[in-house]
């Protein structure tokens, strides 16, 4: 019996995806690169399920384009990495935020106000999503929508009767308008579910070896937390 799979859709937020894409940009700039090379830029030892999933998400967001031996950073991603905050950069962000077909469809539902999670979940299951995958899609989309809306409020503060998402806003990788970071500090926020989120703060100049060690620490922490939550109470 074949295993049922949910329709293809990014499993990470745009804020996380664009920072992953920055790694590729810093290594390859706008030059085409083989999929194996891009996987290495992203911190993987080669092509596997995780690296393919991440590369797929970056392509769905329009951060990377092409395939095989000719993956490259897109013009929209280049604008994000190189341009100052303003209408052109914001338009590039909007293009990437809603590049996934499903997110563009959900955006149409949110012009006035996004339906309830239960309503969205019902619609996504009707499209073939498994219940857990539907919840992940909702959490990811809400995080992306919040990012777009917060950026718009920051850039056009004081204007009235604006649509929910419009060009012209400065957007940061956080889902809330951040306090200006200290030098050498990078902060990231990830939506885990409608009721849970995680934050990661990096300080100093990190090397590839540092990131490998960080990944090991995170995996060990997740295992410990999972074990703690599943152990029977005495």
Answer whether residue 26 is part of any domain: yes
Q: What is the pLDDT of residue 2?
A: 42
CA gap 83, 16 in Å, rounded: 19
Q: Would you say residue 153 lies in a domain? A: yes
Q: How many domains does the chain have?
A: 1
pLDDT at 173 over 70: no
For helices 49-60 and 14-28, the axis angle rounded to 10 degrees is 100
- With beta carbons less than 8 A apart as the criterion, state whether 156 and 168 touch: yes
- Buried b / exposed e over 185-217, threshold 16 CB at 10 Å, is eeebbbbeeeeeeeeeeeeeeeeeeeeeeeeee
When pLDDT is cut at 50, 70 and 90, the band that residue 99 belongs to is very high
- pLDDT band at residue 183 under the 50/70/90 scheme: very low
Q: Is residue 65 part of a domain?
A: yes
Long-range contacts of 85-90 (CB under 8 A, 24+ apart): 85/155, 85/170, 86/168, 86/170, 87/167, 87/168, 89/170, 90/151, 90/152, 90/155, 90/167, 90/168, 90/169, 90/170, 90/171
pLDDT at 231 over 90: no
The answer to whether residue 79 sits within a structural domain is: yes
For 84, half-sphere exposure in the C-beta direction (CA atoms, 13 angstrom radius) is 0
Rg (CA), the chain: 19
In a domain, 21, yes or no: yes
pTM of the model: 0.61
Predicted pLDDT of residue 234: 55
Helix (H, G, I), strand (E, B), or coil: what is residue 141?
A: helix
**Average confidence score pLDDT of the chain:** 78
Domain range for 65: 14-173
Residue 37 resides in a domain: yes
126: in domain? yes
Any domain includes 169: yes
């Amino acid at each position: 019996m074949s295993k049922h799979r949910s329709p293809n859709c990014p499993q990470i937020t745009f804020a996380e995806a664009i920072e992953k894409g920055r790694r590729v940009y810093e290594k390859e700039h706008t030059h085409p690169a083989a999929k194996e090379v891009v996987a290495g830029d992203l911190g993987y030892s080669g092509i596997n399920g995780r690296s393919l999933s991440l590369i797929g998400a970056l392509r769905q967001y329009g951060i990377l384009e092409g395939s095989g031996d000719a993956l490259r950073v897109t013009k929209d991603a280049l604008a994000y990495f190189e341009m100052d905050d303003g209408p052109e950069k914001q338009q590039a962000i909007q293009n990437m935020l809603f590049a996934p077909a499903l997110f563009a469809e959900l955006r149409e539902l949110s012009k006035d106000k996004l339906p309830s999670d239960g309503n969205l979940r019902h619609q996504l299951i009707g499209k073939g999503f498994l219940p857990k995958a539907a919840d992940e899609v909702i959490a990811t989309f809400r995080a992306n929508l919040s990012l777009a809306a917060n950026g718009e409020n920051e850039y056009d503060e004081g204007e009235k009767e604006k649509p929910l998402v419009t060009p012209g806003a400065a957007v940061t990788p956080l889902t809330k308008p951040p306090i200006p970071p200290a030098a050498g500090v990078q902060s990231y926020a990830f939506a885990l579910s409608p009721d849970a989120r995680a934050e990661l703060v990096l300080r100093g100049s990190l090397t590839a070896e540092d990131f490998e060690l960080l990944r090991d620490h995170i995996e060990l922490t997740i295992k410990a937390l999972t074990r703690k939550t599943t152990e029977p109470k005495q």
